[in-house]
Amino acid sequence: MNPTIAVVNATPASMQPAADGLGEGFPEARAWHLLDDRLVTEADAAGGMTPALTRRMLALIDHAVRGGADAVLLSCSMYGPAAALARRLHEVPVTGSDEAMFAEVTRRRPGTVLVLGSLGAAAADSARRLK
């Protein structure tokens, strides 16, 4: 049976790129998209994550796991810290969209890293977590 990967999307614009990436890198997986299109705008308006937004993301992850997902991918980098919390609550793999990038930066140890993002709060969050 093909594994089901729940992709929690914070904007409709991330759904197709996530599906394309899974299709390219993990073609046997079936993508299951969950969308809360207020997650990104509310986090950006708040200047980043809030406890209430973290609880909302954790509820979406819980919904995915209870719905039978074999793994969960968060498509918004600002919600990466919620993935770490969710891993302590669930036995299925939960990963943030930027974890592979952080691991690669750690491995390569470059002197400088340029962080680009479509939202200021997301780029600032990624830069803060990279430090």
Q: What is the pLDDT of residue 18?
A: 92
Q: What is the pLDDT of residue 47?
A: 82
Which residues does 32 contact at the CB level (< 8 Å), separation at least 6?
A: 4, 5, 6, 7, 64, 67, 69
In a domain, 57, yes or no: yes
In a domain, 126, yes or no: no
CATH number of the domain enclosing 66: 3.40.50.1860
In a domain, 128, yes or no: no
Distance (Å, whole) CA 65 – CA 110: 36
In a domain, 116, yes or no: no
**Structure confidence by residue, pLDDT tens digits, 49-83:** 899 999 999 999 999 999 999 999 998 877 888 99
In a domain, 16, yes or no: yes
In a domain, 129, yes or no: no
Q: Which domain covers residue 74, as residue numbers? A: 4-97
* Identity at 86, one-letter amino acid code: A
Overall number of domains in the chain: 1
Tokens of 123: 């780029």
Q: What is the pLDDT of residue 124?
A: 74
> What does pTM read for this prediction?
0.83
Phi-psi domain of 59 (left: phi exceeds 0; alpha: psi -120 through 50; beta: other): alpha
- Tell me the average pLDDT across 34-63: 92
